[in-house]
Structure 1
Amino acid sequence: MLLRKLIKIILVTIPVFFFLTLMSCKSDNKIKEDNTFSIKGTINRYDFKNIEVELHQAIDERGRPEKTQTTQMRNGEFVFEGKIEHPAFASIIFYEGDTIKYTFNFFNEAKNINLSVELPLDFKPVRLPAFNNLDYNAAGSPKTSEYKEYLKLYRDFFENSKTLQKKLQVADNDYYDALFSKEPDSALIKQKKFKNDSLKAVWLSLEKEFKKQYALKNKESVISLHVLLNEYGPKLFDGSFEVPEINNILEELKSLKEVPLYKSTRARYTSIVGLKIGDKAPDFSLENPSGEIISLSGFKGKYVLIDFWAYYCGPCIAKIPKLKKTYAKYKDQGLEIIGIHGDKNAKKWLGVIKKHQQTWPQVIDKNAFKENSAVIKYGVQGFPAVFMVDPEGNLIEKNIANDDLENILIKIFKN
C-alpha cells in the first residue's frame, strides 16, 4: 500500500512541473556566440568577514565540479568571468579561512548571470543538503531556474516519503543493534537485515523512477543528464539501472549528443557492453612517475593485475597493504601489478605512492573518463576497479572484489 501510495503522489505531482520545464528548456540551450560568461553575485550577510569565494565548475567528462576560480568578496559582492561552451553544473562556496560558511549549486552558462543570496536571520554556517540550499536567485540563467525547480520537486518527493523514511530509519537502527549486540543472534540479524534491505529496495526503486521520469520528460535538457549521473540517489552506473535500460535512456536523450557529458556517458556505456571475459584486454600507453611510457603489451607472458584507483578513494588506499602482501607473494611466480591512477592530479598521485611505498608499476591516466582513455576502455564506473589479464593478453577476470583476489590467485598459481 505504501509503495502504491507514493507512486500515486509522484505521478500526480510530476506531470505539471514536467510540462512547464519542457516548454522552457527548448530554447535555453542557446549560448552567446563568444562562449563568455559573467557572474556577478551579492550576499546579504555583511557579518561574513574575510570571505574567499570559490567557483567550482564541471569541467571533466564525468560532470563533477572542480575549483576553477577564486576571488575575495568585497562589500558583499563577488565577480567571476570566463568562457564556457555548454551549460555546466557549478557551485559557489564561501570560505572564512578553512571554514565553509555557505555553499549552493547552480548551472553556469554563456550568459550574464546575477546571483543574489538572501540568507535568513537565523541562518547557521553549516553545509546543508543541496535541495535545501535554495536561498538564492540566478537572474539571467534559465538553466539554474530549471535546476532549482528540479531541487524543489525532489524536496517535495522526499517530504512526501517521510513515512517510508521513518520506517527505514527504524529498520536500519534495529539491524545494526542486532549486528553489534554483545550476544549476536544470527537468526535475528538475518531477519533484521532482510527487513532493512527490503525497505531500502522500495525507497531506491521509487527514487530511481522519479529521476528517470524527470529525464524522459526533459530530453533536451542537460539537467537530465546531471540528475541521472551526479544528483542524490540511484545513478546510471551504480548498478541501479539495467544495461538495456541505460541504452534506452541515452537514446531518448540523444539530442544532447554534442554535449561532452553525453559523449563520455555514451562511451562508458559502450565499454560496459563491449568488454567481456575472454576478450583481448585493451592496451594502453601511460606515463609512470618518471615520465616513461608503460604499456600493457609490454608485460606479455605474465599475469597482470590492473588496479584502477584514485588518491581520493578511501577503499583504494585501505587495500594497499593487502596489495603489498600479494605482490611480495606472487611476483616471482609470474604476477605483475599495474596501478592506474584515474585522475589527472599528478601531485596527489605521487604523494600517495611515496607515502605508501607502492613498489609495483604505477601510471597515470590524465584523460580518465574521456573517450579512448584506459578508464573508459575498461568500463570503469568507480574506484577501485580491478582486472586480471593472462599471459596471452586476454581478460580473465573483471571487477574483482578485494575478498576474492586471493582465491583467484591461488587458482591461477596452484601448480
Structure 2
Amino acid sequence: MAFNYRLIILIVVSTFFVSCTQESTLSGSIDYLGDAVLILQEKPVHYKYAPVSNDTIPVTDEGTFDLSLSVEQPELRTLYINDASYPVYLTPGNNLSITITRSDFPKNVRVEGYSQDWDERYDAYLREIEGLDSQILQEVEKIKVGEENQLTNLSKQKYKIAEKHLKETPFRDYYLQAIGEHLVFKVRSIEYNGRNFDHFDTDSARASVFNEAKELGFFTFESLKAQRAGIRDFTHYYARTFGIYDSVKADYEMDLSEHDIKRIAYKSLNEKRLEVLEHIEERDALAHVRMYLVAERIGEQSLEIATPSYEDYLEEFSDYPKYTDFLTYFYNEIKSVSPGQPAVPFAIPDINGDIHTMEDYRGKFVLLDFWAGWCQPCLEEFPHMRDIYERYSRDELEIVAISNEVDSLVWVQDIKRFDNPWVQLYSGDGFQEKTFTAYKGGGIPFYILVDPDGKIARYNDIRASFNFTTVFDSLLTEYKNSQE
C-alpha cells in the first residue's frame, strides 16, 4: 500500500493549527459603568506607533458582559475603563469570569477560571505598591536639582515587590517592566548628578548601570519584549548622560524644548544611543531593539534622515516579518502626511457646537496645535504662540487648537483658564482623536503647518518658541511672490 506522506504531513500540520486556535470567553459583571466603556486591548508591536486592536465589550443594563474570543496561544491582554487598566491572561479554550467593582478598579478584581490564585497575587501587588509611583515622581524632581533623594531605592523597592508577587505568574511582564523602570531611573540620575556635582564619576556610574542591567536580564529578548518603552527610554537617557542637551542649550543661549534638541543634536544623540546595542547578544533581542529605534526615528525625524536606517533594517532583519511589516506600514503612513501631501480633512466642533473644517481655512496658512491642559510643554508654548498670533494677520495665519483631552469638561475648564484667542476644537478620545491619529501623532505638543492650498507645509518640526517666525516668514514670502 502506497502512502501519500505529503498529504499526511499536510493533515497533521493543518490539525495542529486548527487545534491551536480555540474559542474562549470573557464574561463577568461590573456594578456600574456610567458613561465609560469596557475595552479589551491586545498588546501592539510598538506601544505608540503601531495600530491598536481593541474589543469594546458590550455591557448590559444589569452590568453583565460576555465576549467570545479566538485565542491561538497564551497571552496577556488588558482591560481598560478610561485610563485605568487590568491584565487578563487568556489561554486557548479557557473561559474566564471576572467580577469588577468600578470604584476599586483595578484593585479588588476577582477572576474565576485561572488554575491558580493569580488574580489575588496581582491584587496584592497593586495594594503593596499603592502610593509608590507618586513618591517616585517626587524623588525625580529632587534629582533634577541635585537634592538628596531616594529615587533608585524606591524604584528598586517596586521591582522587588513585583518579583515577590508576580515573577512566577503569567503577569511576569510587570516584574520585568519594573526592572526596566528602575534602570531608566538609574540612568537618568547619572545625567543630573553629572550636572550638579563637580566630582561625580559619570563613567563609573554608566558601567555600574550596565552591570546591573546584565545581572537583572534587562537585555534579554523576554525582558525587552515585556517593556512598554523601556529600551527607548534607556537609550534616550543614556545618550543624555554625555552632556549633549546642555551643550545644545548653551550654543543656542535659550531654553529649547526637548523635541527641538532631539532634532538639532540628532547625529550626536543617535551615536550614543547605538552604543547600547553593543550590550545586546541575542539576535531576537537586537531585532526588537533596532525595530524600536527605527520606529522612533521615523516618528521623530524627517524621512530624509529616517529612510537609510529603515531600509537597512528591512534588509538585515527580513526574517522578522512582524517587525518589518510594522515598520513598512508606519513608514508609508508617515510618508502620506509628509510636506507636500494634502492636509487631513476634519469636521470638529468648537465650544458652541459650531463645526469647523479644514476647508474653511483654505487661502491662508494654518497652524494645527494638538495639545492638552496636563501637557506642560504645550502650555509653555502659549506665550510664544500669542506673540505670533499678534504678529501675523488672520488673512496670513490662523491657529487651530485640537484638544487631546479625554474629558470634555476638563477641556472647557482649560480653554477658559488659558483664554487663548485662537480657534479651540474638541472631538474627544484623547490620543485616539481621529485627526491626531490620522497625522500619526505620537505625543504632544504636536504641530502641523498647512499652506493656503491645503497641503502640509511642515510636519512637527516648528515651535513658536524656537524657529516658527524664521520658517514662516520664508514660506509666507515665497507664497506671496507666487501670487504676483
TM-score (norm 1): 0.55
The structure 2 residue matched to 1:137, chosen from 147, 158, 166, is 166
Mapping of 1:177-192 within 5 angstroms?
A: none
- The question of whether the paired residues in 2 share the 8 Å contact of 1:31 and 1:109 is answered with no
SS of 1:340's equivalent in the other structure is: strand
1:353 aligned residue: 415
Mapping of 1:252-401 within 5 angstroms?
A: 252=320, 254=322, 268-367=330-429, 370=432, 373-401=434-462
The superposition leaves residues 302-360 of structure 1 with CA deviations (integer Å, 9 ceiling, x where unpaired) of 11111122232211111112112211221344211111123433222222211111221
The superposition leaves residues 170-198 of structure 1 with CA deviations (integer Å, 9 ceiling, x where unpaired) of 994978999999xx9xxxxxxxxxxxx96
> Which has the larger helix fraction?
2
Aligned partners of 1:409 and 1:395: how far apart in 2? Answer: 13
SS of 1:277's equivalent in the other structure is: coil
2:132 aligned residue: 126
SS of 1:401's equivalent in the other structure is: coil
2:25 aligned residue: 34
| 1:238–1:320 distance in 2 versus 1, CA, 3 Å | same
Residue range with higher mean Cα deviation, 296-305 or 281-290: 281-290
- Identical columns (%): 17
| 1:198–1:58 distance in 2 versus 1, CA, 3 Å | same
| 1:235–1:392 distance in 2 versus 1, CA, 3 Å | closer
SS of 1:305's equivalent in the other structure is: strand
CA shift, 1:199, in A, is 8.8
Structure 1's unaligned 5+ residue stretches are 1-25, 40-54, 66-80, 92-102, 185-196, 219-223
The superposition leaves residues 139-178 of structure 1 with CA deviations (integer Å, 9 ceiling, x where unpaired) of 8x63x23564676699899999951649999994978999
The structure 2 residue matched to 1:410, chosen from 473, 476, 481, is 473
- The question of whether the paired residues in 2 share the 8 Å contact of 1:283 and 1:295 is answered with yes
Aligned partners of 1:215 and 1:38: how far apart in 2? Answer: 40
Aligned partners of 2:249 and 2:21: how far apart in 1? Answer: 56
TM-score (norm 2): 0.48
SS of 2:132's equivalent in the other structure is: coil
Kindly provide the amino acid, as one letter, of the partner of residue 34 in structure 1. T
SS of 1:308's equivalent in the other structure is: strand
Kindly provide the amino acid, as one letter, of the partner of residue 36 in structure 1. S
- The question of whether the paired residues in 1 share the 8 Å contact of 2:449 and 2:458 is answered with yes
- The question of whether the paired residues in 2 share the 8 Å contact of 1:37 and 1:84 is answered with no
CA shift, 1:108, in A, is 2.5
Give aligned pairs, total. 316
The superposition leaves residues 25-45 of structure 1 with CA deviations (integer Å, 9 ceiling, x where unpaired) of x99x97863323799xxxxxx
2:88 aligned residue: 108
- The question of whether the paired residues in 2 share the 8 Å contact of 1:343 and 1:365 is answered with no
Aligned partners of 1:278 and 1:166: how far apart in 2? Answer: 44
CA shift, 1:271, in A, is 2.2
Structure 2's unaligned 5+ residue stretches are 1-16, 31-37, 53-64, 70-74, 91-95, 97-112, 134-153, 188-203, 212-236, 254-266
| 1:266–1:175 distance in 2 versus 1, CA, 3 Å | closer
Mapping of 1:58-73 within 5 angstroms?
A: none
| 1:88 to 2:77 alignment | yes
- The question of whether the paired residues in 1 share the 8 Å contact of 2:347 and 2:356 is answered with yes
| 1:246–1:321 distance in 2 versus 1, CA, 3 Å | farther
CA shift, 1:107, in A, is 3.6
